[in-house]
Structure 1
């Protein structure tokens, strides 16, 4: 047995030990980052089940005397049900219109052949790099001229328009991955273009549709800037504006503020947990496409 034969296993053991140590360090750093990131959320959840005195006094993360009064007061007495319903309506209309419009656009870019298709597709991709705040003033001016300023449709239409680049990109990738032979066979059987789109392509692109729906619903649900600029009637406020009214009180009730924040966050978390499998599949399919 030569010296090289003895040294090689030692080097392999050293490299394996080094990799183990590196993984342990990375794991500890990730755990530390997760704890730091989760603490504000956990404090919010904790404060939503405390009274104002216990929140101001500070103390343990776990409430000393947990109570549902804070949540019920925030929901019933501070009109959060109205804000919640307004957010549901705006988000639902936005998601439905986005799926209807950009699923059709993605099908056209992926399947149909027409002049200027590639240039138009690249233009939409380029819009991904345009900051939304740069078009805020033109949107408000246009809404005012159309009589939409201060209405929920004045939010829905800009949200749908703003989701065009990402939605078209994802739907085009999803439809491009579907074998063209399916469309050819359907055409031979006499199926119309709409029937092929609705009966074949849409069901096969379900993960992409869910992904687009989630990527549209979450920012729409949480949108504050355009909502703050557009809406001035408290009866039309969405949840972010309702939460802002709590924060703007002369003497903020921090327990109510945290309860309101919890009401805003929980539906998004539940939606992501429920549709996580489709969301991940849709993103993977878009990357492969």
Structure 2
């Protein structure tokens, strides 16, 4: 019995080792990797769409801000999808605070978008009033023979046009100087002139602010954050695949070793069987 116990224990040990190595040689969870990449891609698409809509709003091509609110909703939904993966996926994206950094960047970007919406709405309204009221006021000044006022309003409109094309500081100072030196208007349209001055100053103040917010929104670290997360996900699954490849090689080696040991046992059994037959033949001859 003892002669069979040792080979049996070796075979059992090799089978147990083979099973353990096979378990470790499994590849990474492809479904989890797909879900993570889909969530990251959805975040990138929504982030790009939000930047596009902000640029359109600044250019006056987006009259309503519904798409901005929808863009933020889509970004938050993509983040929830990242967090909603199973424990393994949550551990991948949350390690080293990568997901928290992305959430912080998104919160800051959302706040900037809110500020931009408010400033841009005031800016668009003031621009609309300034263009309409400026033309009407210049016509009224000419009709009232206020040629000096009409000329200054014309100079102001031209300077404002240059400021809209390139909001440089010296052009803004030039507009403020024109606003300060505007001659008094007749009582019939004095209120319109005062409103024109108010809106002109508001444009000079809010245009650089809106452009600054626009740059901060476009340059927000959300894109860099999602790229860092993607690199982290890719690195994790690449390492997992490399580790599985090593265990597959070990699995192959152990399988070859087990096969060799079984062949060795089979050869020993064959040898023992021949010896047994020879011994039986010798006994029969002696009898």
Structure with the largest fraction of helix: 2
In the superposition, the TM-score normalised over structure 1's length comes to: 0.25
Give 1 or 2 for the bigger CA radius of gyration. 2
